[in-house]
């Protein structure tokens, strides 16, 4: 394709995209604001129907036109508590559907539903095809009904960690992954260097999962008033994977069999006297003259990013802007750091730690761990005066890892050779298409020890461990909340409510209000900060190449980290 045709094609593609985005932003900022809100009539039912991925906190503003995302956990809890005081809301119909959120998030919504029930209003749950987290959310209901159809089902699976192993695949394509790590149980590199977990890593993960499993068993027996041992029997000895409605009723998992239409008819719920939680507008109180507690939401992997908005990354740049916003607000007297992160970049974790320590010098910081607050997530939590962990949180994983691929086999397979020339002992050291110098690899292993020692020193300073004591909780071990408390990695087991109360106590506040950070940004601000659109246009202006060397380098860039990581890679659910 000649240059004229190529640039014509680029114009045909990029100009319409720009026009569409311009219209979208303009409309959402103008006409969207005039869209009418749903009117809530008297004796209405609030339908709480989370499904799919539910974020802990939404960093993006929505308006009546632009409201594509479903409510976050924070949105849901806030609206439920507002509905408890709303005279127009008669009750809640709970209809979760394959919710993807941490158990800690499920627990926070349950607490909000329990607060709602204290108002004397009912919470009715209905299940048709439901997952384990859907069911546990429904345990907060006044009554649970289930679709009687044979095609309906409840899935109570237990808890597990899933690990994918890549070594044999890498062997076949001629790639060797060199893993430098410190921490006997830091198994983050095992999927690339082994075909199964080492016994130590496996035993440690099972121990952490057992703590979570025991808690879920106890919660089910307590909520449904089951005989001791009954919940474990249902999980481990029932004949079928899908629990049908009859079995669920017989074993007291639900209260009644009812189709959705008949259930709604029995409570006189119609489309005219019901409102989905997504459409329900709570009136958020304006901040007054009271002292404030800042709730800082840090969710996602830790890594460098210049953007501020919800991209699933906790970066030093994002934290810096939060720190600056808090320091400008003289009313903020304490901070609750809400951490849900498996970690990530070691350097970024240290930079975030330093920024939080700057805040800690001026006011108390209380950490509230939710979901997984491990490795780098635990590292940044050390910049605090007190640590709470949700009963179902996973934490620990004090260790460090770096992985670098060597692709000499791959380069030979595709007829690609590389030669590095230059000056300096380590010039060209990271060339993946040649075998690495043993001295270079030994150097990285020595560096790993230094980075690991820095991690341990942060924990020792924060938690008061001796060198002998840190050895018992480090080495990459992960812990459930109960074991973390027993080993002094945290101070107490509790949720956001307890963390806020503790922060208020440390700051000696008797009357206060809370404010969430990061401050939500508009779609326009997101667009202006996003680098994805310019990058897309940049790619369009480049000639496409299918050169084998470029393809090989693209593959290597995707699996190479070349940086020290404080990271827990396992999905534990």
CATH number of the domain encompassing residue 263: 3.90.226.10
pLDDT at 67: 55
Residue 146 lies in a domain: yes
Q: Are residues 364 and 501 in the same domain?
A: yes
pLDDT at 210: 95
Q: Are residues 407 and 355 in the same domain?
A: yes
pLDDT at 552: 43
**Of 158, 117, 161, the residue nearest 139 (C-alpha):** 117
Instruction: Say if CB 140 and CB 123 are below 8 A apart.
Output: yes
Q: Are residues 255 and 338 in the same domain?
A: no
C-alpha distances (whole Å) from 391 to each of 55, 395, 479, 495 are: 19, 11, 11, 8
Q: Are residues 270 and 361 in the same domain?
A: no
| Structure tokens, 452 | 């690991």
pLDDT at 387: 98
Q: How many domains does the chain have?
A: 2
Q: Are residues 268 and 380 in the same domain?
A: no
Q: How many helices (H) and strands (E) does the chain have?
A: 21, 26
| Structure tokens, 185 | 């149980």
The reported pTM is 0.86
Instruction: Say if CB 175 and CB 223 are below 8 A apart.
Output: no
pLDDT at 182: 85
Instruction: Say if CB 400 and CB 566 are below 8 A apart.
Output: yes
| 84 φ/ψ sector (left φ>0, alpha ψ -120 to 50, else beta) | alpha
Residue 265 lies in a domain: yes
Q: Are residues 477 and 353 in the same domain?
A: yes
Round to whole Å and give the CA distance between 38 and 44. 12
Residue 267 lies in a domain: yes
Q: Are residues 357 and 491 in the same domain?
A: yes
Q: Are residues 359 and 402 in the same domain?
A: yes
Q: Are residues 269 and 330 in the same domain?
A: no
Residues sharing a CB contact under 8 Å with residue 442, sequence separation 6 or more, in sequence order: none
Instruction: Say if CB 380 and CB 342 are below 8 A apart.
Output: no
Q: Are residues 360 and 389 in the same domain?
A: yes
Residue 177 lies in a domain: no
Residue 354's domain spans which residues?
A: 292-531+560-572
Residue 212 lies in a domain: no
Q: Are residues 270 and 327 in the same domain?
A: no
Instruction: Say if CB 405 and CB 189 are below 8 A apart.
Output: no
Residue 388 lies in a domain: yes
Round to whole Å and give the CA distance between 210 and 479. 10
Strand partners, 46: 92, 275
Residue 206 lies in a domain: no
Helix, strand, coil in percent for the chain, rounding step 5:
45, 20, 35
Residue 552 lies in a domain: no
Query: Running along the chain, 573 residues long, what does each successive block of 10 average in pLDDT?
Result: 52 54 52 56 95 90 62 95 96 96 95 97 97 97 97 95 90 90 80 90 93 96 96 96 96 97 96 94 78 96 72 88 95 97 94 97 97 96 98 95 89 88 88 89 91 96 96 94 97 97 97 92 61 46 44 44 75 74
Round to whole Å and give the CA distance between 144 and 142. 7
Q: Are residues 513 and 568 in the same domain?
A: yes
């Amino acid at each position: 394709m000649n240059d004229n045709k190529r640039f014509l094609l680029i114009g045909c593609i990029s100009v319409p995209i720009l026009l569409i985005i311009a219209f979208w932003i303009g409309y959402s900022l103008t006409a969207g604001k005039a869209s009418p809100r749903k009117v809530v009539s008297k004796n209405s039912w609030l339908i709480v129907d989370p499904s799919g991925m539910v974020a802990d906190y939404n960093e993006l503003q929505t308006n009546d036109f632009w409201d594509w995302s479903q409510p976050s956990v924070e949105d849901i809890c806030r609206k439920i508590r507002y509905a408890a005081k709303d005279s127009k809301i008669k009750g809640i119909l709970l209809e979760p559907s394959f919710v993807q959120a941490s158990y800690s998030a499920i627990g926070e919504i349950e607490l909000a539903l329990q607060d709602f029930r204290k108002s004397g209003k009912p919470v009715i749950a209905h299940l048709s095809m439901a997952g384990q987290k859907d069911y546990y959310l429904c345990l907060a209901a006044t009554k649970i009904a289930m679709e009687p159809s044979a095609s309906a089902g409840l899935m109570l699976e237990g808890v597990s960690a899933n690990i994918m192993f890549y070594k044999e695949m890498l062997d076949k394509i001629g790639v060797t992954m060199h893993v430098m790590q410190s921490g006997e149980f830091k198994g983050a590199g095992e999927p690339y260097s082994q075909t199964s977990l080492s016994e130590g890593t496996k035993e440690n993960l099972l121990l952490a999962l057992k703590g979570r499993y025991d808690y879920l068993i106890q919660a089910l027996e307590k909520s449904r008033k089951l005989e001791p041992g009954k919940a474990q029997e249902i999980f481990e000895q029932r004949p079928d994977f899908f629990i049908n409605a009859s079995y669920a009723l017989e074993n007291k998992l639900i209260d009644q069999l009812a189709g959705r239409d008949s259930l709604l008819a029995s409570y006189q719920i119609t489309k005219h006297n019901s409102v989905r939680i997504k459409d329900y507008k709570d009136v958020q109180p304006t901040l007054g003259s009271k002292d404030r507690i800042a709730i800082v939401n840090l969710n996602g992997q830790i890594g460098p990013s210049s953007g501020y908005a919800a991209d699933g990354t906790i970066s030093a740049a994002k934290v810096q802007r939060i720190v600056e916003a808090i320091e400008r607000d003289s009313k903020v007297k304490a901070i609750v750091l809400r951490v849900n992160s498996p970690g990530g970049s070691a350097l970024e974790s240290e930079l975030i730690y330093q920024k939080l320590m700057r805040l800690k010098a001026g006011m108390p910081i209380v950490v509230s761990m939710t979901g997984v607050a491990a490795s780098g997530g635990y590292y940044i939590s050390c910049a605090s005066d007190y640590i709470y962990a949700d009963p179902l949180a996973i934490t620990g994983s004090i260790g460090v890892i770096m992985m670098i691929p060597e692709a000499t086999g791959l380069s030979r397979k595709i007829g690609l050779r590389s030669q590095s020339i230059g000056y300096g002992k380590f010039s060209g050291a990271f060339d993946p298409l040649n075998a690495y110098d043993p001295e270079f690899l030994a150097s990285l292993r020595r560096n790993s020890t230094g980075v690991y020692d820095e991690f341990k020193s942060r924990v020792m300073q924060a938690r008061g461990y001796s060198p002998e004591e840190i050895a018992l909780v480090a080495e990459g071990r992960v812990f459930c909340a109960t074991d973390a408390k027993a080993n002094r990695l945290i101070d107490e087991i509790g949720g956001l409510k307890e963390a806020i109360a503790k922060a208020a106590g440390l700051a000696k506040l008797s009357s206060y209000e809370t404010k969430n950070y990061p401050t939500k940004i508009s779609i326009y601000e997101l667009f202006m900060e996003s680098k994805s659109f310019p990058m897309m246009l940049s790619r369009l202006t480049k000639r496409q190449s299918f050169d084998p060397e470029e393809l090989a380098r693209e593959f290597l860039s995707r699996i190479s980290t070349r940086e020290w990581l404080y990271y827990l890679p396992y999905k534990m659910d």
